[in-house]
């Protein structure tokens, strides 16, 4: 110790002593200074002067453990939700009335979800379905061409009472739409 004292100028040593008096009173440096003293001289009375630093360390450790537990709980909840959604894609949902996908399609949905940063399988399914080409890309050849003539259906019925005939046809069309939707 005597040799190290010779390495420092007396004025610098006084400045360092004043600094050592100030650091334990600064909230920003008290913990670091206390840990340094405990490490350098663990059995000294100076090390015993920092019990609050040890308590603060224990509190920080406890808080970090609680945050890790909460993060783990949230991760488990998200994973559970995603597994249930994945199973619903394979089975068609709880009542099995929803759309069903095979394992290959589910893997493609998952790849798309990963590419787009999506964590919801329903959103991934909708996006995947939107990217699929139409089943029949060619137009129906039975559709009338532009400029084709069209004959008025049921001319006799419309000729006698056009209002009544129009209402009946409208009700028939609405009923057909409702049947197809159900």
Q: What is the 3-state secondary structure (H, E, C) of 140-158?
A: CCCCCCCCCCCCCCCHHHH
Asked if residue 29 belongs to a domain, the reply is: yes
Judge if 66 and 114 occupy the same domain: yes
Could you give phi then psi for residue 119, rounded to 5 degrees? -115, 0
Band of residue 147 on the pLDDT scale cut at 50, 70, 90:
low
Q: What percentage of the chain carries pLDDT values higher than 90?
A: 21
Asked if residue 65 belongs to a domain, the reply is: yes
Judge if 64 and 31 occupy the same domain: no
Band of residue 143 on the pLDDT scale cut at 50, 70, 90:
low
Asked if residue 41 belongs to a domain, the reply is: yes
84-88, 105-109, 158-162, 171-175: which range is least confident on average? 158-162
Judge if 43 and 108 occupy the same domain: no
Asked if residue 154 belongs to a domain, the reply is: no
pLDDT at position 67 is 96
Asked if residue 140 belongs to a domain, the reply is: no
To the nearest whole number, what is the mean pLDDT of the chain? 82
Contact 158, 165 (CB under 8 A): yes
Judge if 42 and 72 occupy the same domain: no
Asked if residue 119 belongs to a domain, the reply is: yes
Residue of 71 and 11 predicted with greater confidence? 71
State the pTM of this model.
0.47
- Total domains, the chain: 2
The string of pLDDT tens digits covering residues 89-101 is: 888 888 888 888 8
Contact 24, 33 (CB under 8 A): yes
The domain in which residue 97 lies consists of 54-132
Band of residue 111 on the pLDDT scale cut at 50, 70, 90:
very high
Asked if residue 1 belongs to a domain, the reply is: no
């Amino acid at each position: 110790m005597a040799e190290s004292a010779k390495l420092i100028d007396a004025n610098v040593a006084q400045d360092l002593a004043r600094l050592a008096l100030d650091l334990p009173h600064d909230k920003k440096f008290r913990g670091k200074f206390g840990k340094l003293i405990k490490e350098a001289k663990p059995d000294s009375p100076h090390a015993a002067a920092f019990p609050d630093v040890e308590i603060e360390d224990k509190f920080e450790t406890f808080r970090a453990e609680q945050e890790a537990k909460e993060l783990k709980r949230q991760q488990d909840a998200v994973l559970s939700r995603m597994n249930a959604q994945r199973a619903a894609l394979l089975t068609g949902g709880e009542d099995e009335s929803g759309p069903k996908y095979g394992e290959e399609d589910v893997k493609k949905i998952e790849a798309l979800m990963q590419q787009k940063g999506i964590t919801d399988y329903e959103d991934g399914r909708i996006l995947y379905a939107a990217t699929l080409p139409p089943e029949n890309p060619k137009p129906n050849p039975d559709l009338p061409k532009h400029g084709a003539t069209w004959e008025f259906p049921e001319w006799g019925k419309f000729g006698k009472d056009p209002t009544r005939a129009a209402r009946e046809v409208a009700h028939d069309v609405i009923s057909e739409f409702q049947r197809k939707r159900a």
